[in-house]
Amino acid sequence: MNHHHCTICELRCRLVPGQPGACGLYEWQNGNIVERYPDRFLVICPISIETMPMLHFRPGSKFLQITTTGCNFNCPGCISTTLVKAMSPDSKALHRRTADEVVAEAIRSDCEGIVFLMNDPLAAFPRFLRIAELAHHQGLEVGCSSNAYFTPESLSQLLPFLDFINIGMKGFTDAAYKACGAPSLRPVLRNLAALHGAGVHIEMSCILTRHNAAELLELARHMGRLSRCMPLQVMRFLPFENAGIDLEPSIREAEDFCLTARQSLDYVYLFNTPGSDSLHTRCPHCGHVILRREFYGPMGAKLKTPKQGLPVDNSCPACPHLLPIVGPPAAATYQEGDFEGGYPLTRAMEIVEAMLIAMGVTRRDVVVAAWEEILQDGGLKRLHQSIQRPRDYIATLRDFGRKAGVPERAETLAAYLEKQLARVADAWHRPNAAPGSTTPWASPVSTSTAAAWRISWWNWPAASASTGRWHRADGPATT
List residues near ligand SF4 by CB under 6 A. Answer: 6, 8-9, 11-13, 21-23, 25-26, 71-75, 78, 80-81, 119-120, 122, 147, 168, 180
For 231, 269, 278, 327, 469, the CA distances from 285, given in Å and listed in that order, are 16, 17, 16, 21, 60
Nearer to ligand SF4, 6 or 265 (CB): 6
Amino acid at 293: R
CA–CA separation, 63 and 342 (whole Å): 11
For 40, 207, 432, the CA distances from 238, given in Å and listed in that order, are 30, 9, 41
Q: Which residue is nearest to ligand SF4 (CB)?
A: 21
Nearer to ligand SF4, 63 or 73 (CB): 73
Residue closest to 224 by CA, chosen among 273, 174, 284, 183: 284
Nearest distance from residue 151's CB to ligand SF4, in Å? 8
60 within 8 A of 310, measured Cβ to Cβ = yes
Nearer to ligand SF4, 33 or 413 (CB): 33
Nearer to ligand SF4, 120 or 392 (CB): 120
DSSP annotation of 284 reads: T
Nearest distance from residue 185's CB to ligand SF4, in Å? 13
CA–CA separation, 230 and 428 (whole Å): 54
429 within 8 A of 437, measured Cβ to Cβ = no
Nearer to ligand SF4, 64 or 122 (CB): 122
Nearest distance from residue 127's CB to ligand SF4, in Å? 13
Nearest distance from residue 170's CB to ligand SF4, in Å? 7
| Strand, coil or helix: 113 | strand
For 271, 296, 381, the CA distances from 373, given in Å and listed in that order, are 30, 25, 12
Nearer to ligand SF4, 74 or 439 (CB): 74
Helix H or strand E encompassing 178: helix 174-178
Nearer to ligand SF4, 168 or 300 (CB): 168
61 within 8 A of 47, measured Cβ to Cβ = no
CA–CA separation, 318 and 56 (whole Å): 19
Nearest distance from residue 318's CB to ligand SF4, in Å? 38
Nearer to ligand SF4, 119 or 314 (CB): 119
Nearest distance from residue 15's CB to ligand SF4, in Å? 6
Residues 6+ apart with CB under 8 A from 263: none
Nearest distance from residue 241's CB to ligand SF4, in Å? 13
Phi/psi of residue 40, each to 5°? -115, 135
Phi/psi of residue 216, each to 5°? -75, -25
Nearest distance from residue 346's CB to ligand SF4, in Å? 11
